[in-house]
Amino acid sequence: MKISKKLSENVLDKLSIDFLRNQVLKNAYGNDDTVIAGLDPRILIIWYLFFGLVPWFANDLTFLLGCFILVVITTRMARVAGLVLFLFGIGVFSQTGYLLIVTLFFGGDASAVVPLLILTLKVATVSLASVTIFSGLDPDKLANGLMWYGCPERLSFSISYAYRMLPVLMEEFQNVLLSYRLRGNPPDNSTFRGKIKYLAYQIKIIIQAFYPLMLNTAKRSRTTVEVLEIKGYRYASVNKAVKKIKLSSMKVTNNDLLFLAISFLWVAVTVLISTII
Partner 1 sequence: MNVIEIEHLTYSYPGASDSTLKDITVNIEKGDFLAIVGNNGCGKSTFCKTLNGLIPQFISGDFSGTVSVCGLNTAETDVGTLARKAGYVYQDFENQIIRPTVLDDASYACLNYAMKDYKERGMSALEKCGLTGKHNDYIWQLSGGQTHLLALAGVLSLEPEILILDEPIAQLDPGHADRIYNVLRELNEKYGKTIIVIEHHTEYIADYCKHVMLMKDGNIKWVLPTDDALRRVDELQECNIFPPQVTIAAHRMKKSGKMEPDVLLPTTVMEGKDVFALKENTKVKNSVTPSEKTEIAAEFKDISISYRSVKGAPHIVYSDLNLNIYKGEKVALIGGNGAGKSTLMKMMVGLLKPSSGDIFLYGENIREKKPENLSRTISMVYQNPEDMFIKDSIRADISYAMEVRNIKDTEEKTESLLKRFRLTELKERDGRLLSGGQMRRASLAIGIALNPKILLLDEPTANLDIATRKEIMRTLNDLKEITETVIIATHDMQLVCEWADRIIVLSGGKVIADGSRNEIFGNENVVSTSGIRPPEIFEMGQTLDKNSLCYTIDEFLESFEGRRMEDEDIEKIIGKCAG
Residues forming contacts to partner 1 in the complex (CB under 8 A) are 13, 18-19, 22, 25-26, 28-30, 138-140, 160-161, 163-164, 167, 172, 175-176, 178-186, 208-209, 211-212, 215-216, 219-221, 223-224, 226-233, 235-236, 239, 241-242, 245-246
Please, which residue, 110 or 240, has the CB nearer to partner 1?
240
Please, which residue, 111 or 248, has the CB nearer to partner 1?
248
Query: Contact, 215 vs 222, CB < 8 A?
Result: no
Q: Measured in Å, how far apart are the chain's first and last C-alpha atoms?
A: 52
Residue 13 beta carbon to partner 1: minimum distance, rounded to whole angstroms: 8
Residue 145 beta carbon to partner 1: minimum distance, rounded to whole angstroms: 16
Please, which residue, 105 or 251, has the CB nearer to partner 1?
251
Please, which residue, 221 or 274, has the CB nearer to partner 1?
221
Please, which residue, 52 or 186, has the CB nearer to partner 1?
186
Residue 9 beta carbon to partner 1: minimum distance, rounded to whole angstroms: 8
**Backbone CA torsion sign across 126, 270, 94, 96:** positive
Residue 11 beta carbon to partner 1: minimum distance, rounded to whole angstroms: 14
Residue 179 beta carbon to partner 1: minimum distance, rounded to whole angstroms: 5
Question: In this structure, how many other beta carbons lie within 10 angstroms of the beta carbon of residue 104?
Answer: 12
User: CA-based Rg of the chain, rounded to a whole angstrom?
Assistant: 23
CA distances from 275 to 62, 118, 125, 268 (A): 9, 17, 21, 11
